[in-house]
Chains A and B, each alone.
Chain A
């Protein structure tokens, strides 16, 4: 009964989405206020029914209803409760339902926080989002119904893929989807602006916080996926340039470009056409990512069934959305007009170069991800493009972009003097060069790449701090407020930028140092054996067999000492999941600020010994720390007063009118 209710709720949601896509759009074209006003309640009503559907599916999982095919194939009565709940989005069907749920959450958020926007704009935005919703609801209902019954019901389920039975898995997909789907808001804003022909600084101010928010979620989602790969896959890497990772990385790169180009659109009214194009590309890449990951074109933990019907549906939907958006763009963009002019040395041109570099990087990733698929589809042979390609492309593309990150906040809008800029930045540059030359020696060895990484990280961090100092002193001098008051008076948007840029510096430190100084050892160990890595002694104290809820495991006990002092005891496990007949490595990690100690069990050898993987990973946690700082920067920027003021302004005339009415009465 419950699954049928969920199914029915999805159908109702589809009908509401149909109304929401059509009527407000027509209303906006004809200036019919009643029809436009339908958009908000429709969006909220749609959310209600999607939530009901999602709750029904979650209930089926939690209550072990194995008469539902989806539950029977992805859950098991022995699975712990939190993973049964997370299994709701652990399957193809469930994850698409999560996609639709996220889309509806964003849609409702837009309907709530858009009081100041003109009603035509809101009507068009919500209508565009409803069209996307229709596409995904149709996809769910016709090719991937999550509520399909299994008759007769299974006695027990086939269990969730053991790799997904992890706390990170509970949060990673919702975060990632919040980001992916969040770009649909930027997309809808862009399309609405193209339809309405209103594309100015105000438009950029409205769409900017949404874009930044989506970008922040995507950043966290990707970071969590990378963290999952690091500790679940058990080989200690944090990024593999796997097509599935690339699928989420491409929208991130373009989204980063979009966040920066929106800044120019808001502050200077420039880059408007470019901004709209980026918004379209970012969402298209999100859809492409969904297609790559969900259609079974790529094989990975994310690809479930390989039903060609699904692939064709998503491909057709993709072609429709991208084609229609680009056609609209080609038709309307010439009317938008260009923004203000700017000189060669100016903040605009720094941001423009950064944008171009980011987009070229995204194109390079796209080439490396799609080319093997094309060759394969055309029957021209099987090839693969590995990490060396991406690395040799990324370093030369990102190094100048990161270098510009130090300069851009100093550069004035419109025009600046190169000599003046150089003088203001000389100390930051000197500090960066000095640390690049010296720091690697104190850490052990010097190589050009290590020096480059340290140079860039120190450069971004020091330039950021100097910029803060300059801004505070300027405020202090011009308004004669105290330094601490000046610090408080700096806008949140500025603080967000600083935090996010520092996040990039932290990230670069992590990537550089772990690359340069990690120690990886695969060794044969019997109980009592000791191995040294990175100045730590790892001693295998023993092994024992343990029983988990749905697995058997061998657990190693490894004591770690440094200079005779005990540092940590690690318990790596080799699990064997009984239902899926699948072994899995559970690494044990002692996390620290300056290093991770990483141990995982390889395979048992004949005489009771094991092959053990012992890694020393310096500064690896800075990689994720940096990513979280970037996201935090985004969130701080979204809370900027000017976005809230914008809303109070909108309410002011209304209250003014109310007082006028009251006085008249």
Chain B
């Protein structure tokens, strides 16, 4: 083999290896992206079944229940427009509180209950997870819109 051919082969092998690495990375990336859905989107059936995703919003005050004798908890996540019941087996983070923002990751069951395998802890008591803040904001805007359409005919009169 001439040196020039040898170099070409080497470059080809190198490119192939890099391509394989890129393929591996992008494939892993594609299958491990976790999307976020607000309770309203989940209620509108936009969230996938059988795939992990995140939900966020407020923990509805008074909704936290502990299963007797075990470590499982149930609570309701709300964006004020729609509610999602959540079950979680494990220890809740220190900053989990009713009426505060929360983000949970898990899968939606066919019964409409969200089975969380992770409830996210954030590091500061005053901190609102941006996903949760966003969901609340959207719900508020949607509510304002629907209110406007209700009020409009009234105004015309």
Contacts and interface: CB of A to CB of B under 8 A. Distances in A.
Interface of A: 161, 163, 233-235, 299-301, 344, 356, 360, 363-364, 367-368, 371, 376, 381-386, 388-389, 392-393, 396-397, 522-524, 580-585, 602-603, 605-606, 611, 613
Interface in B21-41: 21, 24-25, 28-29, 32-36
A385 to B, nearest CB: 6
Interface of B: 10, 18, 21, 24-25, 28-29, 32-36, 54, 66, 69-71, 89-92, 94-95, 105, 121-125, 127, 129-131, 134
A217 to B, nearest CB: 25
B21 A397 contact: yes
Given A360-B18, A367-B25, A381-B35, A522 B10 contact: no
> In the complex, which of the residues B90, B95, B129 has the most CB atoms of chain A within 10 Å of its own CB atom?
B90
Nearest to B127: A299
A300 B25 CA distance: 26
13 contacts: A163-B123, A300-B123, A364-B25, A371-B29, A376-B130, A385-B34, A392-B28, A393-B28, A396-B24, A602-B71, A602-B92, A611-B91, A613-B91
A299 B121 CA distance: 11
Contact of B33 (A234, A344, A385, A393): A385
Nearest to B103: A384
Given A382-B35, A383-B35, A385-B29, 19 more contacts: A161-B123, A299-B123, A299-B129, A301-B123, A344-B10, A382-B54, A382-B130, A384-B105, A385-B32, A388-B28, A389-B29, A389-B32, A389-B33, A393-B29, A523-B71, A524-B69, A583-B94, A584-B94, A605-B66
B35 A602 contact: no
Contacts of A602: 71, 91-92
A582 B121 CA distance: 13
Contacts of B21: 360, 397
A382 B25 CA distance: 20
A388 B36 contact: no
A580 B18 contact: no
Contacts of B92: 602-603
Nearest to A396: B24
Contacts of B91: 235, 522, 602-603, 611, 613
Contacts of B124: 161, 301, 582
A603 B66 CA distance: 11
A381 B36 contact: yes
A393 B25 contact: yes
B53 to A, nearest CB: 9
Nearest to B13: A344
B37 to A, nearest CB: 9
Contacts of A585: 94
B28 A389 contact: yes
B130 A581 contact: no
Contact of A382 (B24, B28, B134): B134
Nearest to A302: B123
Contacts of A385: 29, 32-34
Main secondary structure of the interface of B (DSSP, over half): mixed
Main secondary structure of the interface of A (DSSP, over half): mixed
B71 A388 contact: no
Contacts of B121: 233
Contacts of A583: 94-95
Nearest to B122: A299
A524 B70 contact: yes
Nearest to B123: A301
Nearest to B22: A360
A356 B14 CA distance: 10
A581 B125 contact: yes
B34 A384 contact: yes
Cβ-closest 10 pairs across A and B: A602-B91, A389-B32, A382-B36, A301-B123, A392-B28, A583-B94, A388-B32, A582-B125, A384-B34, A364-B25
A87 to B, nearest CB: 16
Contacts of A300: 123
Contacts of B28: 388-389, 392-393
Contacts of A344: 10
A605 B131 CA distance: 30
A111 to B, nearest CB: 39
B82 to A, nearest CB: 17
Contacts of A364: 25
A299 B130 CA distance: 9
A522 B131 CA distance: 28
A585 B95 CA distance: 10
A241 to B, nearest CB: 11
Contacts of B66: 605-606
A367 B54 contact: no
Nearest to B17: A356
Contacts of A582: 94-95, 124-125
Contacts of A161: 123-124
> In the complex, which of the residues A363, A384, A388 has the most CB atoms of chain B within 10 Å of its own CB atom?
A384
Contacts of A581: 125
A383 B33 contact: yes
A622 B134 CA distance: 42
Nearest to B124: A161
B70 A393 contact: no
Nearest to B91: A602
Contacts of A603: 91-92
A508 to B, nearest CB: 20
A344 B28 CA distance: 30
A570 B66 CA distance: 27
